[in-house]
Structure 1
Amino acid sequence: MKTTVLATILFTFCLLVACTRSEPSYKLVQADSLMQKSPDSALRFLREIYPEELRTAEDKAYYALLITQAQDKNFITQTDDSLICIAVQYYDSTECIPKQAKAYYYWGCIKRNKNNHPEALKKFFIAITHAKKLSDGKLAGHIYNNVANIYTLQKLDEQADSIYQITEKLAIQEKDSGLWIDAVSQRSMIDIRKGKEYYHRAEEKLLHAFEISQHTAQRNMIAKAAYSLSLLYGRMNMGREAVIFAKLNIDNQDNTKVLYRGYLLLGDAYYKTAQYDSALIYLNKALYSKDHFTKAGAYMRLADIAQKQGKLEKALEMERKYSSHMDSAQQKQQSSEIIATEKNMLIQSKQSEYKANLNQFYYYTITGAVIFLTLFLVIWRRYRKEILHFKQKEIEQDKKIGELLQQKDEQIASLQKEIALHNYSQTEKQNLKEELHILKTERQALLNESYEHSEVYVKMKRIIQAYKKTDKSSEHFSEEDWKQLIAETDMRWNNITLRLATRYPLSQNEIHLCCLYLTDIPTSHFRYIMECSRDAIYKKTKKILEQKIECSDKSTTLRDILENFL
């Protein structure tokens, strides 16, 4: 009898406890069920839960995780990690791996929002470790995607591409079209940065991604694919297509944080189609962004438009603002810290993995070092062989071009002599002149090819690439290099520097600047070669136009005058 009474009392107590804490738990579970398909509803539901309803540490941790997740899915920027830390501490103590993985993932997202990328990577690496234990490919895919995005922001394209490949495979495995489109779009952006030879491959991938995004009817996926396509078509000088996809990106963009980047893209597309009024509207909208790279891009295009419109003072002002925001953006880059973080995380992982058996750890370390050194020696020898082969090929190519140039010169001289000595009819003379024009065109093409393979041109390209990567270069343009550039320019453009110096009182430094204007190098890169600011380049250009050449037409550029002088 006593046992029955005791059991009844115990059952009643458990029932009361269960009823007391079932309501918030039920609400949290219900919010969790809405998270994937309707994150806005989940967020509203969670905001209706009062703090006093969360009576246990488990409920508080679960709520902290869900509210952080809901705000992230609704594109709400979170920079305060005090709430997610509650979830992390609780799930670490209970070793609840599924929620541990999510908690560390969203902690990493908050660190990412604060631009603390090294710390974000640490959290993401821990999250990946937990996700792997669960074989949760979907969550692992999103974590890898965020890791790759951080590498991309820090201009670590090689590392980013390798991680995006993992993300792409996981997205296909989990049939997550949104994640797949995101990974493909980002990999295509890396291809675009590699150069023209990768454009076709990028276009194929992006058109396929865009087609799938339209079938999914997910606006943010359409926006991502359209953004990448517009950027690609802008690089391919297909202005009309660039404008169309830039508009599609803006029309389908749900995330207001990246909308300003879309304005910059559309403004740039309008600029490339010479629709400057439309370009100005969207470029000025992009200036409201808080991102320094976006602002810098907008100011650069505004400077270009001002220069084309002959507003040199405004162009200089825009250039200064461009430089200022680029400096601010570059100061925020943490590439070296990220690489150090990555190495530290790998070291910690290895130490944990081999802690139980140090001998095995040392064995793998030594074996790895031997393999690395062997591979290094093999690659180094192969590299040296390829360099020697490349130099030999370059010498042969220069020799071949020289022989062809000599042949063309002889043909041109012979044809000119024949025209002068013989009395041909007008029709015959016209045919001979056309033949002479073709020979001169072929000769100019050979000179251009010879120039692009010249040491001075290759050195200029190396210096520019070094500045773009590290904002400095170990190489500098010497007096001998300038002499070689002048010689190459005169050979290519019929002694143009001599003719310029004869006609205008140009200094040697101004002749150097004119030579740069006759290359295909963008004006913004002249400062790397001349080792001065963009401001100084514009002032020198203005001085040549106004004081030396005495050009009063504000719409005429120095490049226009030089091209007319050829």
Structure 2
Amino acid sequence: MGLRKTFLAFVYISCLVIFSCCQESTSSPLLVEADSLLAISPEKALQKLKQIDISKLHSNYEKAYYSLLLVQATDKNYLSLLPCDSLINVCTEYFYSGLNKGKSYLYKGRLLVEMGMEREAIDFFYKALPELKNGKSEIRIRGMIYEDLGRVYYSQSLYNEALDKFNLACNDYMSINDKKAIVNALGFISRVYAIQNKNKDEIRVMTQAIKLAFETKDSLVISNTCNNYSMTYESLNKIDSALQYAFLALSYRPFNVKKSPIYLSIGNLKLLNSEIDSARYYLNKSFEDGTVKDHALTHGYLSDLEKGQGNFQEAFEHLTVFSEVIDSLYMVDKSSQIEQMGYKYEIEAKVASHKASMRLTIIAIVFVSIIIVLMLLLVLQRLNKKKTIAKLLYKQRSEKMLMEIANLQTRIDQNNLQIQCLEKEQLDWDFKIEEKMREVQELAKQKNKLRNALFQQTSSYTKIQKLSKQDRSDNKSIKVLTQAEQIELRKTIFQIYEESVAELQEKFPKLTEDDLLYSCLDQTGLDTFAIALCFGNASKQIVNQRRYRLKAKMIIEE
């Protein structure tokens, strides 16, 4: 009996483990979509994540996954991680190992760096490294960790340690051929060389960064790298080379990215090169889209410029503005530091509170009153459950109806669009039909001209033309076509105008041979007198009567 209970308990625990594993292998489609957007468009990913209702996420894994994605999106949009403290704690506590654990430690470290707790941040960065294997995603995260470690060491003036970490980051980025990340890491390496006065190494690294930046074909990366190269030459007092790369950085700057830092750099270089007018022009240009800090630097440079030109009043005005802006920036920085300290102490207070609550929980377990409270809460929960279910049902019905309305509107819009397309196609076909009809009419005219020309080459036409030139004053003396000539004429006409005759016979089967002959002769362009001669008459009235009778027959048959 004991073995049976043990076996059943084992099966039950195994099912729970398998179920939990299955839960972690599946996730919300919305979260998967947001994850795919992170690399392409961090702004859209952040918007998508903010629209997700966390209460609709079913498992703890999805909630932790959502927290990690939101932290990543916040970081990729260059926003402060301070408000994400609780989200990062969820990730570090839930994920047991692997890539997500490594990411959690990475962002925990970045949060601590932002709070000025570099020593604690370094611990989390090093704790993240063993969680990462050799997959492409793991290598990229490892490179980011080495890069962050390098920045921390750089800020602490530990330049050899910083250089070592930046080189490790660069090696990881090279192994996955992430050229943009390589360029960024090379930029940090060049800064270390600059501080260590290793000018040749600095130039070598920046030259490599410039080459890779152009290979990325990313205008912003190229612009930033050229600007860094310009500052390198400026530090070496090579003003002409610095100007060359500053203008190159300006030419590659995307239209939606601020150009004021480059304008400011060019203005300063022009000032150092004693090109006063150009320096004043570019320094004033930096006011267009610069930050408050950029404006302060611009006023400082303009103060030096005006002072050098002997314009002491203008130099004093710029210096005054410079001082006011610097003071305001100091106050903002001070308030930011106070805010960071507040977050730091808030975290420490949370930890202390958590420990105190644990002690209180242990003590509270002793008292039976907790059971009574829990029972009361259960009763209240059941009472509120009906209201909650009713609200959820109402919300679901409302959302379903709104979705149906939106679907119907979408179908209406689609149908309207199809109608517009069909109307446009109908107009196009009408135009093409009219064009083809005009073409058919023109071809029919050309065909008739050719048949008339062919008829004019016959002896019958020559004879008719000759007879039509007779004196018409005396009908008795007028000569007409003989019976044999009329037979020859009929034969010639019916042969040349065979298609017209066939069409008339098909459409008007009651027409006589004389009617058909007249219809063909009427197409040749002969006048009424000449047509009368073809029928052996000298009177045009006979032809007019035949024309009238022919029209009457055609109307009746139609």
TM-score normalized by the length of structure 2: 0.47
Structure with more contact order per residue of length (Cα contacts < 8 Å, sep ≥ 6): 1
TM-score normalized by the length of structure 1: 0.46
- Which one has a bigger Cα radius of gyration? 2
